A and B are shown apart, each in its own frame.
Chain A
Amino acid sequence: MPEGKFCNKKPVDTAEGITQLLSDTSGNTYYKEMKELTVDSDLLWKTIQNTCKSRIRTWLEICAHCGMCAESCFLYQVNGRDPKQVPAYKIQSTLGKIIQKKGKVDNAFMRHAMEVAWSQCTCCNRCGMYCPHGIDTGIMFGYLRGLLYQQGFVPWELKIGAGMHRVYNAQMDVTDADFVDTFEWMVEEYEEDYPGLTVPVDKEGADIMYTVNAREVKHYPEDLAEAAVLFHMAGENWTVPSKGWEETSLAMFAGDWAACKIQVESVYAAMERLKPKRMIGTECGHAHRATVIEGPYWAGRKDGLPPVESIHYVEWLAEALNTGKLKIDPSKRIKELVTLQDSCNYIRNQGLKQATRDIMKHIVEPGYFVEMSPNKEHNYCCGGGGGFNGIGLYRKQRNIALIKKRDQILATGAKLVLAPCHNCWDAIRDLEEEYDIGIRWSFLKPVIIKMLDIPDHLKPEE
């Protein structure tokens, strides 16, 4: 049985297809079928010839096998320094082998490559900073994921996730109507405390177009209201698009490049339709990477930039606090040891380290902010990045991966962790659940709302 009913080379692009795939609990049948899936070696080799150009080929060729990347990888560190976890080994023994064999690899090899690509690398790109030759293994793993996806060797949840983007232009089954309704409903809920609070939908020419993570709509709708409150308090002229509101891309984690393009183009279409001055995305790392950093390339934009200037939520917050658009009541600042999680996707991958530190200066009483070590672009992945958090098959490996962040947090002595990234937030929640170290964790929005110095005209009437 080469192509399974659930596990096959065809992307899911209908709502029925998604429902059917979801009905296979934990992907049990899916993974059984995967053992029978044939490898289309001709397609694999043809794809490599068309897409694997000098950068990756040179990386694979000049790798000196020096092992300097080993210690840079948190997964190597937390897995007993197993030499099989050395980044260079991981990529040479998977992508390197596939190329060496000109695509003639078997089913067992592909399943092994899948395990390495999704459970032994979170595409955090830290190793790239420690290689004398500038070899970025994380980028190569992203590429390998694309090859594996094309052949149907992709974790069940990510096949579903990529399918969601194809069907709903969102990472989960949240429709455009769900999004607008939920946002409006949440704003109504908060309106009493914040008179005049609204959510302007599809307003043309606004200063800010705000995009979100579909999880907020489905699981944390208060986050939407909090965003509205902060824009309202800052006096911003903002809007949300009724279509093209989803900033995330599980398709990127899955290696489904066609779906990545579909997804990001839905956001760019909203930008072109509403012509905002700027786009601001929510407190999510991979969403920013997908829509702002990598997205322009999927959409074929030669200058590598989105249609309008697009910034991360932390950049807007830092700006609003620095310029006094948002004012903090100094008596309400955080007065306990607090640490900050640097998200790989916008700190290492877009250098936004200063923005979050500016924010900390405003919201933490001097002397209470403790940096993790290492930090900024040298920080370690939360342990759940690159889709790792969401893959049931690799839950055990993911839980081991959390150890690095757990130990980093413990070393700060802080009991409060600010994590302006959905993936990091989830990973830190899970590490508390798993290892019970007695910490609390939060996005920035709820923390800042509690300490705002609200101007009189925006206060509710007594």
Chain B
Amino acid sequence: MHDLLTGVFFWIALGVCLIGMLARFIMYFRGLSWQLDRVAYTSHPAAGVKGAVRSIYKWLIPFGTYGWRTQPFIAVAFFGFHIGAVLLPFFLLGHTLFLKEKLGISFISLNATVADGLAWAAVISAFFLVLRRLVLPEVRIMTTLQDYFILLISIAPFATGLLARYEIGNYSFWLNMHIFCGELLLIAIPFTKLSHVFLFFASRAQLGMDFGIKRGGMKGTKMAW
């Protein structure tokens, strides 16, 4: 089982994820229309790129925008979850060894304490993200089963990973479950709301170009995100 999960399944999951992401990324930008979107994307590339970069990096900084600052609770939960979700797959010691063996790419490894901290932060943050959905009327009204499903499959690799890490019950069972959940997540990325892992950059870039080109950027005004 372990061989299958780390062998052919791994390659399928990775392939689906990467090809799917690439295809959707290309489709997104091909589907932009200067006239329908009313943004002269190609006529003012420098202003566009400037706006796009600002629009992305401002939102990647914890408390870097008005949005994050005015809503500190979700900002903490959001970054608590996403920092681990982005760093651990690449830089956890077990993962770096695996990736080195499979892909020949070697990433630096996170210190074990830091990695544990990030994993716990992600699980705890995810709990609060679920809680928000249940408690806040403005979030509850829009929340669908799919939203819970996405949260579930996003948190499953962390939960199973921690169970394996602390060897609660059968280590190899949890390890296999962890790998399975991780691969499931990879496959789900291009086809679900998880597509935001790459479409976030596309969508933010688009709005950034809008502000950079049409809504003030070319007047020399920097949007105060």
Nearest residue, chain B, Cβ from A300: B35
A412 lies within 8 A of chain B by Cβ: no
B203 touches A83 (CB 8 A): no
A371 lies within 8 A of chain B by Cβ: no
A67 touches B221 (CB 8 A): no
B66 touches A130 (CB 8 A): yes
A327 lies within 8 A of chain B by Cβ: no
A89 touches B142 (CB 8 A): yes
Instruction: Provide 21 A-B residue pairs closer than 8 Å at the C-beta atoms, listed in order of the A residue.
Output: A53-B37, A54-B29, A54-B30, A54-B32, A57-B31, A62-B193, A65-B143, A67-B136, A67-B142, A68-B67, A76-B138, A89-B142, A131-B67, A132-B200, A133-B204, A134-B59, A297-B34, A302-B40, A302-B43, A351-B216, A378-B224
| Chain A residues with CB below 8 A from B224, complex form | 376-378
Indicate whether A58 sits within 8 Å of B66 (C-beta atoms), given known contacts A65-B139, A65-B147, A352-B221.
no
A348 touches B215 (CB 8 A): yes
Binds A, one of B96-104, B176-184, B205-213: B205-213
A1 lies within 8 A of chain B by Cβ: no
| Chain A residues with CB below 8 A from B193, complex form | 61-62, 64
Nearest residue, chain A, Cβ from B34: A302
Find A66's partner among B29, B31, B74, B210 (CB 8 Å cutoff): B74
Indicate whether A67 sits within 8 Å of B139 (C-beta atoms), given known contacts A62-B203, A302-B43.
yes
Contact with A along B12-43 (1 / 0, CB 8 A): 00000000000000011111111111111001
Find B215's partner among A89, A130, A296, A350 (CB 8 Å cutoff): A350
Name the interface residues of A59-78: CB closer than 8 Å to any CB of B: 59, 61-62, 64-68, 70-72, 76
Number of interface residues of B (CB under 8 A): 61
Minimum CB–CB distance from A210 to chain B (whole Å) comes to: 20
B138 touches A351 (CB 8 A): no
A304 touches B44 (CB 8 A): yes
| Chain B residues with CB below 8 A from A133, complex form | 196, 199-200, 203-204
A367 to B51, CA, bound (A): 35
B78 lies within 8 A of chain A by Cβ: yes
B32 touches A55 (CB 8 A): yes
Most buried by B among A59, A76, A296, A297: A297
Contact with A along B65-76 (1 / 0, CB 8 A): 011001100100
Indicate whether A62 sits within 8 Å of B200 (C-beta atoms), given known contacts A70-B138, A88-B142.
yes
| Chain B residues with CB below 8 A from A132, complex form | 59, 67, 78, 200
Minimum CB–CB distance from B176 to chain A (whole Å) comes to: 30
B221 touches A58 (CB 8 A): no
Nearest residue, chain B, Cβ from A377: B224
Indicate whether A62 sits within 8 Å of B199 (C-beta atoms), given known contacts A55-B31, A350-B219.
yes
B33 touches A53 (CB 8 A): yes
| Chain A residues with CB below 8 A from B214, complex form | 293, 304, 350
Minimum CB–CB distance from A88 to chain B (whole Å) comes to: 6
Minimum CB–CB distance from B144 to chain A (whole Å) comes to: 7
| Chain B residues with CB below 8 A from A67, complex form | 132, 136, 138-139, 142
A348 to B206, CA, bound (A): 17
A294 lies within 8 A of chain B by Cβ: yes
| Chain B residues with CB below 8 A from A378, complex form | 66, 224
Minimum CB–CB distance from B59 to chain A (whole Å) comes to: 6
Indicate whether A351 sits within 8 Å of B217 (C-beta atoms), given known contacts A65-B139, A67-B138.
yes
Nearest residue, chain A, Cβ from B213: A304
Minimum CB–CB distance from A75 to chain B (whole Å) comes to: 13
| Chain A residues with CB below 8 A from B43, complex form | 302-304
A147 to B39, CA, bound (A): 20
B215 touches A349 (CB 8 A): yes
A136 to B203, CA, bound (A): 10
| Chain A residues with CB below 8 A from B168, complex form | none
| Chain A residues with CB below 8 A from B59, complex form | 132, 134
B55 lies within 8 A of chain A by Cβ: yes
| Chain A residues with CB below 8 A from B39, complex form | 304
Minimum CB–CB distance from A135 to chain B (whole Å) comes to: 7
A64 touches B196 (CB 8 A): yes
A83 touches B137 (CB 8 A): yes
Minimum CB–CB distance from B7 to chain A (whole Å) comes to: 32
B71 touches A134 (CB 8 A): no
B127 lies within 8 A of chain A by Cβ: no
Minimum CB–CB distance from B197 to chain A (whole Å) comes to: 10
Nearest residue, chain A, Cβ from B215: A349
| Chain A residues with CB below 8 A from B207, complex form | 128, 134-136
Minimum CB–CB distance from A313 to chain B (whole Å) comes to: 15
Nearest residue, chain B, Cβ from A135: B203
Indicate whether A68 sits within 8 Å of B71 (C-beta atoms), given known contacts A83-B137, A83-B141, A351-B223.
yes
